[in-house]
A and B are shown apart, each in its own frame.
Chain A
Amino acid sequence: MKKAKRLLALALALGLSVSLAACGPKEQGGQQSESPKPSASQPVESQKPVDSQEPADTGSDVAKEITLWTYPIGNWGKEAEVKALTDAFKADTGITVNVEYLAYADGDDKVNSAIAAKNAPDLVMEGPERLVANWGASGYMVDLSDMLSAQDRSEIQESVLNACTATDGAVYEYPLVMTAHCMAVNLDAFKEAGADQYLDLTTHTWTTENFIKAVEALYAHYGDTVAAVYCGGQGGDQGTRALVNNLYGGTFTDAAHTTYTWDDPLNVKAIEQLKGMDGIAFDASLQGGDEIAKFYQGVLKMAFCWNIAQQLDPNSAGTGSGKTVTGEEIAFMSFPSEDGTAALQGGIWGFGIFDNGDASRIEASKLFINYMANSEHTVDAVRTANYFPVRSAAGGVDLSTMWADNDIMNEYQVLMPFLGDYYQVTKGWAQARTSWWNMLQKVGEGADVASTVATYAAEANAAAK
């Protein structure tokens, strides 16, 4: 009798834990309809054994559900707009795409923890610095070079395709859109301070000398910080990099993308110049996104974290293109340089496929990429991103004129020739970004510029080896 009771107790205790353990997978099962995990798609796999050697023309080994994780690339961060695209894709192919929207603030961490948990998404939308240099180089991505026909290669801009190609020739990103990152000025504020004379609004360029004069004029008028070298994190750091590099013609990496060169004297000179200017603050409480918000708010008179998507919809607030919240006019500008011709930092965005070892999902993902980036639907995908297409035509549709009816896009074209080297694919990129903003913080707090820059550049270079 006693034994029986003891057994009962044991059974109860075990039952409790077993039922708990059982709940987990069940939950996972319930989730199946929404976002398939490797486990969730196992039934599909087991019914139809996948032979990766076999070509996928039968359609039987194409998964019916895939996941896409996207960063906020133009309106690819907005659910309603992306849903329209994925719904159209589903109507065409019967494949459901579950989309997760990442933020730049913690998006990398999410992808990395998903990779570590062997739960990476099928598709990810971002730039070569992550897809090629980081995840691609680490072997998590699928080589997409077989998707590129000779015609595709001729239609896609060569420099873009190069950025999407790893050193061993594997293509880890199928590019969709591109832009040149630039800066912006609050034109009304410039006029009020009499600084608009330093801007050339037809070419949208200016020289370092004029930039310095403009900041002086603005500071004389407002008596407060008018622009911030933001360094609260890595968010939007392309702006601070481009500012520093262009001011006196420094570079971030060498041409071969093997070493970080931001300790060269030209960059040091630029950082010293910025540090010494009244009106420019090294602000460790801001990241790129905060800076945009402050600029949109009218507090800062210049933004270093800008591009065409921002110009079209400042702060993604939907309050009209090229206007701050109070309706002041925003003008985009190239970064200042000594002779007025800047090397702008390119932004390239496209799709990559994570290798989860499931050929059917890779096939479905490839279908998705072809649909979005290489078909007559590409024009919609590009339009949603609010950037420029990377190719002249897709699926027989000419893309070179797709923004012809958009004045702002047309005007922005003047900056595109200034596109500089796409150096973000240098090894050790994640460390270099961390070192960069930490360096700016230290300099901002008054540390000696030359030695601080040297220390942190060395840290980045240690990771580049």
Chain B
Amino acid sequence: MAKQTQVAESRTPRRREQKQSNMSRVLQRRENINGYLFMLPSLIFFVGFVIIPMFICIFYSVTDANMRDTAVHFVGFSNFIDLWQDPVFLEALKNTFLIVVVSVPTVCAFSLWVGSAIYKLKGPLLSAFRCIFYLPVVTGSVAVTVVWKWMFDNYTGIFNSVLKGVGLIDKNVNFLGDSRFAIWCIILILFTTSVGQPIVLYVSALGNVDHSLVEASQVDGATDFQVFWKVKWPQMMPTTLYILVITTINSFQCFALIQLLTQGGSGTNTVMYYIYWTAFKLTEKAGHFGYANAMGVMLAIFIAILSAVQFRLAKEK
């Protein structure tokens, strides 16, 4: 059935296109004008504060621009060449992708598990769980970061105290000051602030699954596991895609965590943070704005590719 609706959906645009070709030029023009009028308010902001800056960013990336805006020289692709020889950038790139590659699937899997475990619970219990998992999202990134920093404290933190108390460790673990742990701590905090929305989504998606199909397959003798993967999972595909998109966005945006916990030290530097650092800390470096923008362009290219792939996959499904 899911397939059928999809086929129907994919047929409509084609029919419309046919219609469109029959439309008179006047009609097309009217459609153009109306379309743009409705797009206009949004485009002002989108073009003004995303697209134009992006072009300026590309322009800067091939120059030796500094904080001081006099005498900007074209330097070709030397910024980009330097980037690939900069060990800090390469490490940051690695960390950026590590964060995304780890957090996106774990958030999805975890929220799917929680969602399937709680969606059949009674009303108050269900909403209690939903709220609890959503709380870190509403608490606010800075407040959350500040308290986690305290909990992770190397000397008097609650984690060290508890772990020592139950005998799991005998020496304090320097969670945020040790490159073996720091990035995982950041991923963990990011995780707690990311799962709230996906859980809510999965709960409702599971609730909306077509029950007649589930029953039919159960009559056919399918196990719970089979029912889940063969019947429920395909129906939740749109939800899953949406979750993938917002989680990816979230993971790329994680800045406060790094700024307030490690300042990019202990092996937690990311490209986003290194851009900021190059732009506003290393201000004596010649051409630091150009360099930071080159990093931005590289990151944007990677993200655009990632998004394109994600959507291609989504369309195929």
Contact between A and B in the complex (any CB pair below 8 Å)? yes
What 0/1 pattern do residues 24 to 35 of B give for CB contact below 8 A with A?
000000000110
A233 touches B265 (CB 8 A): yes
Shortest distance in angstroms between A324's beta carbon and chain B's nearest beta carbon?
Answer: 14
Whole-angstrom CA separation of A113 from B289 in the bound complex: 11
What 0/1 pattern do residues 280 to 322 of A give for CB contact below 8 A with B?
0101111100000010010110000000000000000000000
Given A16-B41, A138-B68, A445-B179, A428–B284 Cβ distance below 8 Å? yes
What 0/1 pattern do residues 432 to 465 of A give for CB contact below 8 A with B?
0010011001001100000000000000000100
B174 touches A285 (CB 8 A): yes
Q: Which residues of the other chain, A, contact B294 by a CB distance below 8 angstroms? A: none
Q: Which residues of the other chain, B, contact A1 by a CB distance below 8 angstroms? A: none
Q: Is A417 an interface residue (CB 8 A)?
A: no
In chain A, what residue has the closest Cβ to B70? Answer: A139
Given contacts A13-B40, A134-B284, A285-B266, 14 further A-B contacts (CB under 8 A): A6-B34, A10-B40, A14-B40, A108-B283, A138-B283, A138-B284, A232-B177, A232-B266, A286-B177, A294-B155, A297-B156, A428-B285, A434-B282, A463-B285
A285 touches B175 (CB 8 A): yes
Q: Which residues of the other chain, A, contact B285 by a CB distance below 8 angstroms? A: 428, 430-431, 463
Whole-angstrom CA separation of A149 from B285 in the bound complex: 35
B178 touches A463 (CB 8 A): no
B64-84 at interface with A (beta carbon < 8 Å): 66-68
- Tell me the interface secondary structure of chain A in the complex: helix
A-B CB proximity, top 5 nearest = A285-B177, A284-B177, A109-B280, A285-B176, A233-B263
Shortest distance in angstroms between B155's beta carbon and chain A's nearest beta carbon?
Answer: 5
A445 touches B178 (CB 8 A): yes
Q: Is B125 an interface residue (CB 8 A)?
A: no
In chain A, what residue has the closest Cβ to B289? Answer: A116
Shortest distance in angstroms between B295's beta carbon and chain A's nearest beta carbon?
Answer: 16
Shortest distance in angstroms between A321's beta carbon and chain B's nearest beta carbon?
Answer: 24
Given A138-B67, A299-B156, A284–B266 Cβ distance below 8 Å? yes
Considering only CB atoms and an 8 Å cut-off, how many residues of chain B contact the other chain?
36
Q: Is A9 an interface residue (CB 8 A)?
A: yes
A284 touches B265 (CB 8 A): yes
In chain A, what residue has the closest Cβ to B154? Answer: A285
* CB-contact partner of B281 in A9, A115, A434, under 8 A: A434
What 0/1 pattern do residues 247 to 279 of B give for CB contact below 8 A with A?
000000000000100110110000000001101
Q: Which residues of the other chain, A, contact B174 by a CB distance below 8 angstroms? A: 281, 283-285
* Most chain A CB inside 10 Å of its own CB: which residue of B34, B68, B279, B283: B283
Given A283-B174, A463-B285, A113–B280 Cβ distance below 8 Å? yes
Q: Which residues of the other chain, B, contact A13 by a CB distance below 8 angstroms? A: 37, 40-41
* CB-contact partner of A9 in B37, B67, B277, under 8 A: B37
Q: Is A427 an interface residue (CB 8 A)?
A: yes
Shortest distance in angstroms between A370's beta carbon and chain B's nearest beta carbon?
Answer: 28
In chain A, what residue has the closest Cβ to B176? Answer: A285
Q: Which residues of the other chain, A, contact B303 by a CB distance below 8 angstroms? A: none
Whole-angstrom CA separation of A437 from B280 in the bound complex: 17
Q: Is B300 an interface residue (CB 8 A)?
A: no
What 0/1 pattern do residues 375 to 399 of A give for CB contact below 8 A with B?
0000000000000000000000000
Q: Is A349 an interface residue (CB 8 A)?
A: no
* CB-contact partner of A10 in B37, B44, B153, B178, under 8 A: B37
* CB-contact partner of A429 in B37, B262, B276, B284, under 8 A: B284
A232 touches B262 (CB 8 A): yes
Whole-angstrom CA separation of A200 from B119 in the bound complex: 70
A112 touches B280 (CB 8 A): yes
Q: Which residues of the other chain, A, contact B263 by a CB distance below 8 angstroms? A: 232-233, 287
Q: Which residues of the other chain, A, contact B178 by a CB distance below 8 angstroms? A: 284-285, 445
* Most chain A CB inside 10 Å of its own CB: which residue of B44, B66, B179, B280: B280
In chain B, what residue has the closest Cβ to A445? Answer: B179
What 0/1 pattern do residues 1 to 26 of A give for CB contact below 8 A with B?
00000100110011011000000000
B174-222 at interface with A (beta carbon < 8 Å): 174-179, 182
B281 touches A430 (CB 8 A): yes
Shortest distance in angstroms between A117's beta carbon and chain B's nearest beta carbon?
Answer: 10
Selected A-B contacts with CB under 8 Å, 19 pairs: A9-B37, A14-B40, A16-B41, A17-B41, A112-B67, A137-B284, A225-B155, A233-B265, A283-B154, A284-B265, A284-B266, A285-B153, A285-B174, A285-B266, A286-B177, A300-B155, A428-B285, A430-B281, A441-B179
Whole-angstrom CA separation of A463 from B281 in the bound complex: 13
